[in-house]
Amino acid sequence: MHMSSTNRQSYTKSLGRLARALPLALLLALPAGSVSAADVKDAVSLKFDVYSGSLRIFKISMGMQIGKDDYAINTRIKSKGVASLFAKTKINMSATGSAKKKLVPLNYVSNSKSKGKKRSVNMTWTSKGKHQVKRSFKLSAYKANSLARAVRPGMMDPLSYLMKMVRATKQPCGGSERVYDGRQVAEYRYALQGVSTFNRSTGGVYRGKAFKCALTYRTIAGLSANKQKKRDQGPPATFMVWFAPVAGKTRNLFVPIAASGEVSGRAFTMRLSEGSVSGTPISKRVIATN
């Protein structure tokens, strides 16, 4: 495939923006930690392919360890194919937290490498919900001030917020929340759009009904002054995310199985290529959507 230098630069920038946006919109995890007999946990393992048109641009490995009183998750995102040629990207994220009365995040870690540039964030929460953040990079005065105004005690990281949706009681879509990843504060708004049926024609390996959710995403703080002004003047990004109702060992779960949307003018689709809950394929543990 031949590209001019101008088109190559535009394509690289758009893929980079897509790489940054997808982790915030579609965050999940790989199994982590041990399971004791006294605390039965559900181990959710998911793998996704992300396409821009007919080109596969990302591979995402996801999963969760879901206990009665705690959780642990991590996500691995890696650019593939033409995306690796122009914007080679690797992102690893993990989170742990408590779930005794309500979901309380305890630790969040993010390590990324894009076009040779490495960045890391390690964030913990105090007993009063205050964030303690260690970064491998420095924030500009403008970014630091904007975060100081926007961050509030108890704000969840993106992975923990996803866990809140997975553990929902009736359906995963509804409400809004501001989320903090140590670099930016974003506002997520989820709204239920109905129920969709996935079959061979829709792609991916999942078969059955899933809740269709509209995710509206807007960055509130952590960008440069120029980028924040553009974001504020433009419409928020909107994605569609589908959650399958799946039976776990001790509770029902809502597992993400697909997504679609547009980032920087480029459409993407994400479909489940492999998935299981505690070793059993997801398609065999689906429950009624009522």
**pLDDT, mean of each 10-residue run, the chain (290 residues):** 52 52 43 47 94 88 92 92 68 95 95 90 96 96 97 96 92 91 95 93 90 94 94 89 91 93 84 92 73
β-strands 208-221, 131-135 pairing: unpaired
Sign of the dihedral defined by the CA atoms of residues 41, 240, 76, 17, in that order? negative
Give the residue among 99, 50, 51 at the shortest CA–CA distance from 75.
50
What is the reported pLDDT for 108? 98
What is the reported pLDDT for 185? 97
Q: Indicate the helix (H) or strand (E) that contains 7.
A: helix 5-25
- Taking the C-alpha atoms of residue 119 and residue 23, their distance in angstroms, rounded to an integer, is 15
pLDDT tens digits for 180-218?
999 999 999 999 999 999 988 888 999 999 999 999 989
Q: Indicate the helix (H) or strand (E) that contains 146.
A: helix 141-150
- Domain chopping of the chain, boundaries: 5-284
What is the reported pLDDT for 83? 59
Q: Indicate the helix (H) or strand (E) that contains 96.
A: strand 89-98
pLDDT tens digits for 20-65?
555 444 443 333 333 444 568 999 999 999 998 888 888 999 889 9
